[in-house]
Structure 1
Amino acid sequence: MNHVLCGLAANVTLPSELVNRLIAVADADIAVELAGRGDLSREQAVSLVSRVEESAVRLAYEGRLTAADIDPAAQPHAALALLHERAGSPEWARLLAADPVVERREKLAACSGLPSDVVKTLAADSDVRVVAELALWTTPEVAARLAGHPHAEVRRAVAANEATPPAVLAALITGRGLPPAQRCLVCDREETPFVHDPQCPRPDCDLLPGASCDGPHESTMHDIQEAALRNPATPTEAVVGFADHPSMLLRWALAARSDLPPEVYRRLAADPTPGVRADLAENPAIDDALIRVLASDRDHNVRRRLAHNPHVPLDLLTHLAGTTKIGTTLLPRIASASPAEVEALAQSPKPAARMLVAQRRDLPPEICDALANDPDAKVAKFIAPHPGRSEAQLRAMVDRHGVRVLAKVAANPDATPALLEDLTRNEPSVQKAFREIARHRNATASALLACLADKQARPIAAGHPALPPPVIVELLTDADWQVVEAAAANPSLPPAVISDLMRRL
């Protein structure tokens, strides 16, 4: 891989004639960068596809190619991408339905709006992977027909398809009303009875650990039930009986459903598997009483997930924030808090409450100012990146809390050039702060030179346009390929250097 050329392919200052020269020599890696250029013309896109056909997929999805630009026989990847976007010709679908390459027929089966004769052909395909892919994405009518397919893997795909009629999904769970499946992936390949060793030493084996078949295709039938239980289109009455099922995976599949009776949610809240209780904790359908039960769950992840439930009461959420590592994501309940609730949280004597509300980016100025002066470093960390903070406020945070807020202050979009320079000289230094400064729009050459000394910030700084051109040129021979690509893509790379690099092609 030529990392300089990959970087140049992404350089926004590269003239059109030099883009053409890169297209003429592009390999798959260079083509990825060229396909992402916003200034690529239709003619250049067609030329790039002629050079590296795989680039057509992205170009087609982005609307940079039309059906007139593609020869489906010579460029099947591009044709499939346009068919997926419903911008291809029906004749392409008929051609690709007979393609000898299974993977292409499989991709075709995932396309919507296919002609009925093509759907019929794919449904009768000799390779079960093609039929299963069709079953996963097809219409209700076709899904209903495929529910009785002799291969259990096709039925598993039907069970996962949300367009499958509810009555068919209920039948897949019980098997009643459907002919017995005749084959599965296990008995296709192994003599039964067979249980796949989780430590299987065969490098070419793609059976899942524990896959088994003793005649009734046990593991695949279990997978069919799990897929149907996770499918929101499956009727409630068909799934409620699985809350006490011996299979942990089947009980787990119920926990995120929003249509279960309260007594079923209560049984799941007592499940011995923490993952079941964790999914249940985040489920918006559980009531206040169950939320409070789960708030005292012994498992940390259950309590963390409960904090992300949009209906968790604020008093409980504040308690959870003080005792559980929740993360830095704005929680749904905080995002929906009313102005009065926001004010109450900001004035709470509990730092955890102030920390939660500090994550909002739409706070009134007076609340932002108060939180910027908060004596607790955790609160300050969340308010520090807010736009609109003055240089004096940001410097005061650093003076008050030191390294605990340095990276967040550096991430503030209004941090001044002088402040960023001072942050690079802070003792002790903070690695994450260098990365934030390296990508900051206000970073100066002096600050960026300091960032180059940090291994993780170096590739980011190498692409910053404020870096001095002689330094950028020097970085083109760096030992780190990420630095080389970033330097070559830097818009401040001198045009004369770019021309010289291109002359060497």
Structure 2
Amino acid sequence: METLYSVRLEGLAANPSAPEDILLRILEHAEHRIRAALVHRPGVPGAVYDAVMRHPDPRTRRLLAMDGRVPAGLRARLAADPDPAIRMAVAWGPDLRWDGAEPLPAQTVARLAADPDARVRHALCELASLPGAVRAALAADADPKVRRNALQLWRDPPPEVVDAALDDPDPDVRRQAMLHGYRRRPDLVAPLLADGCESVASDAVLDRAQALALSRHDRPCMRAAAAANPSLPADLVTELAADPEDEVRLAVSLRPELTEKERAAIDYRVGARDRLRPPRWFRDRLDDADLLRRYAASAHVGLRRLAAHSPHLPGDLVARLARDDDSTVRALLAEHHPDAPADLLLAVTLESPHVFRFERLRHPNFPHAGLARLAGSPDPVARMLAVRDPGASPAVVERLSRDGEPRVRAAAAGDARLPVARVLELLDDPAAARSAAGNPGLPVRSMERILYDVAIL
């Protein structure tokens, strides 16, 4: 149960100024939720890492295995943990969760690939940095679930690996191999279409009979997949442009060969918050300058949204889409382009209704300087951002720490510019106590009091 005392303790566990002995006491005596805050903090002392490695609770050791801030050498030590759940956590690792996580040593990866527990080998297939030779070995693993996962997560396996898997005794492995091989092996298209595979319907080179069957399919999703297929004959494109289903007509309207006039003649609909999934042919052409220029300049908002997915947009198109009157275009551009403009990143963070908007704060172009001007905004999110201005005065931070919105007080409570007296007051504010306990200016005697209140000291 969360109490004011436990909330303070969780904040203290993440306090960058907390002495090593206080952190070790928290690790030894606090509940798992508090230990998680301690392990995930930046700047964990080496002695604390060593204590986590020896911790009797496997859930705590697992936290260390999945944290991208932890040096790879420390995570590698857990590859020998007696608990297979810990070894699984090391295997799938933090690659998809943390930017810049240090890759595991090659010998550790090899050890995990030979782990006696198939669940560990299965998890290793998730590792984004997995070498091709190791992935090939996993594709030939004794366990069919491992073989299937190795193929499923391999973006472009060599033809010899795919061909060997086509003869696999396990039907799921064979199907994964077919999904990799149908572009090279036209004989694999028909059985995949018969199985209702939409991705193949949208991407495979179709013969006339297949194209006709898909265009008349009783399932709208299959007709929509056919409508996106680059090999669909022109007469069937025309037919599907008048399909009774919105999703089919929309798929036709996104085809690259259409003129603006032809698109405008189609009764397509794109909702204000619809996220269009880029077709595979478009994902393969994200660096096609001519295509991107046509799509970015189109009156079709769906095409502009597709263009905004490309990280290769030149500067003039970035500037154009950053001014687009469609909020989803702007949000997609901020999400996908490595050089998204600073004013766009700020605008998307302020205007988006989604919690993911705060991910933009980590973008290197996000404009922190000058955010103090937002301190008087009626928008509480804007006032939260004001605290992030390195030039904000202590007076501004203190004023925000008394804001009527709990989220704003919490944002200000952890700021090092806040006077100590105000930090201590905020320890009694349920909305801000966690942040106040994590404030680097919190005196050590106050940290010890937090431990005392939960009977750790």
TM-score by length of 1: 0.56
| Contact residue 7 and residue 488 of structure 1 kept, 8 A | yes
Aligned to 1:131, which of 147, 151, 154? 147
Kindly tell me: are residues 266 and 437 of structure 1, through their superposed partners in 2, closer, same or farther at Cα, counting changes over 3 Å?
same
Structure 1 residues 234-313: aligned runs within 5 Å? 238=205, 246=215, 247=222, 248-249=224-225, 251-252=227-228, 265-266=256-257, 275=276, 283-285=286-288, 287=290, 291=294, 295-297=298-300, 300-306=301-307
CA shift for structure 1 position 34: 2.3
The aligned counterpart of 1:465 is 416
CA shift for structure 1 position 155: 4.3
CA shift for structure 1 position 67: 4.3
Please say if 1:225 is aligned against 2:200: yes
Kindly tell me: are residues 463 and 144 of structure 1, through their superposed partners in 2, closer, same or farther at Cα, counting changes over 3 Å?
farther
CA shift for structure 1 position 13: 0.5
Question: Relative contact order, CA 8 A, sep 6+: which one is greater?
Answer: 2
Kindly tell me: are residues 43 and 70 of structure 1, through their superposed partners in 2, closer, same or farther at Cα, counting changes over 3 Å?
farther
The aligned counterpart of 1:146 is 165
What letter is aligned with 1:443?
Answer: A
- SS of 2:415's partner is coil
Please say if 1:25 is aligned against 2:29: yes
Aligned to 1:56, which of 64, 74, 90? 64
Please say if 1:434 is aligned against 2:383: yes
- SS of 2:13's partner is helix
Kindly tell me: are residues 276 and 243 of structure 1, through their superposed partners in 2, closer, same or farther at Cα, counting changes over 3 Å?
farther
CA shift for structure 1 position 251: 4.6
| Contact residue 198 and residue 225 of structure 2 kept, 8 A | no
The aligned counterpart of 1:199 is none
Aligned to 2:39, which of 23, 35, 38? 35
What letter is aligned with 2:183?
Answer: A
CA shift for structure 1 position 31: 3.2
Please say if 1:72 is aligned against 2:90: no
What letter is aligned with 1:74?
Answer: D
CA shift for structure 1 position 170: 2.3
- SS of 1:327's partner is helix
The aligned counterpart of 2:441 is 492
| Contact residue 9 and residue 22 of structure 1 kept, 8 A | yes
CA shift for structure 1 position 295: 1.4
Kindly tell me: are residues 78 and 382 of structure 1, through their superposed partners in 2, closer, same or farther at Cα, counting changes over 3 Å?
closer
Aligned to 1:3, which of 3, 7, 11? 7
Q: For residues 90 and 143 of structure 2, what CA distance do their matches in structure 1 show?
A: 21
Q: C-alpha deviations, 1:94-152, integer Å up to 9, x for none?
A: 333x45xx4x44213445359889947964425x4x33212124552433322344555
The aligned counterpart of 2:360 is none
Structure 1 residues 158-237: aligned runs within 5 Å? 158=177, 168-170=181-183, 174-175=187-188, 218-219=195-196, 222-223=197-198, 225=200, 229=203
CA shift for structure 1 position 321: 4.2
Aligned to 2:20, which of 16, 21, 35? 16
Please say if 1:447 is aligned against 2:448: no
Q: C-alpha deviations, 1:225-281, integer Å up to 9, x for none?
A: 269x4xxxxxxx8479899853323554769xxxxxxxx731598686664899959
Q: For residues 318 and 399 of structure 2, what CA distance do their matches in structure 1 show?
A: 45
Q: Which runs of 5+ in 2 are unaligned?
A: 94-103, 216-221, 232-254, 271-275, 348-365
The aligned counterpart of 2:96 is none
Q: For residues 411 and 225 of structure 2, what CA distance do their matches in structure 1 show?
A: 43
- SS of 1:460's partner is helix
| Contact residue 277 and residue 302 of structure 1 kept, 8 A | no
CA shift for structure 1 position 495: 1.1
The aligned counterpart of 2:450 is 501
- SS of 2:115's partner is helix
- SS of 1:464's partner is coil
Q: C-alpha deviations, 1:445-487, integer Å up to 9, x for none?
A: 432233231333122111111122232223223333xx22211
Q: For residues 314 and 207 of structure 2, what CA distance do their matches in structure 1 show?
A: 25
Q: For residues 30 and 37 of structure 2, what CA distance do their matches in structure 1 show?
A: 10
Q: For residues 94 and 335 of structure 1, what CA distance do their matches in structure 2 show?
A: 38
| Contact residue 70 and residue 78 of structure 1 kept, 8 A | yes
| Contact residue 444 and residue 467 of structure 1 kept, 8 A | no
Kindly tell me: are residues 446 and 323 of structure 1, through their superposed partners in 2, closer, same or farther at Cα, counting changes over 3 Å?
closer
Kindly tell me: are residues 151 and 477 of structure 1, through their superposed partners in 2, closer, same or farther at Cα, counting changes over 3 Å?
farther
Moved more, 494-503 or 285-294: 285-294
Q: C-alpha deviations, 1:354-405, integer Å up to 9, x for none?
A: xxxxx857xxxxxxxxxxxxxxxxxxx77999xxxxxxxxxxxxxxxxxxxx
- SS of 2:80's partner is coil
| Contact residue 90 and residue 114 of structure 1 kept, 8 A | no
CA shift for structure 1 position 5: 2.2
Kindly tell me: are residues 82 and 444 of structure 1, through their superposed partners in 2, closer, same or farther at Cα, counting changes over 3 Å?
same
Q: For residues 328 and 315 of structure 1, what CA distance do their matches in structure 2 show?
A: 15
What letter is aligned with 1:57?
Answer: A
- SS of 2:108's partner is coil
Q: For residues 19 and 73 of structure 2, what CA distance do their matches in structure 1 show?
A: 19
| Contact residue 42 and residue 64 of structure 1 kept, 8 A | no
The aligned counterpart of 1:208 is none
What letter is aligned with 1:72?
Answer: D
Give 1 or 2 for the bigger CA radius of gyration. 1
CA shift for structure 1 position 16: 1.1
The aligned counterpart of 1:201 is none
Kindly tell me: are residues 156 and 448 of structure 1, through their superposed partners in 2, closer, same or farther at Cα, counting changes over 3 Å?
farther
Kindly tell me: are residues 501 and 133 of structure 1, through their superposed partners in 2, closer, same or farther at Cα, counting changes over 3 Å?
same
Q: Aligned-residue CA RMSD in angstroms?
A: 5.0
Q: In the comparison of the two structures, how many residue pairs are matched?
A: 362
The aligned counterpart of 2:362 is none
Percent of pairs with identical residues: 15
TM-score by length of 2: 0.61
Moved more, 267-276 or 246-255: 267-276
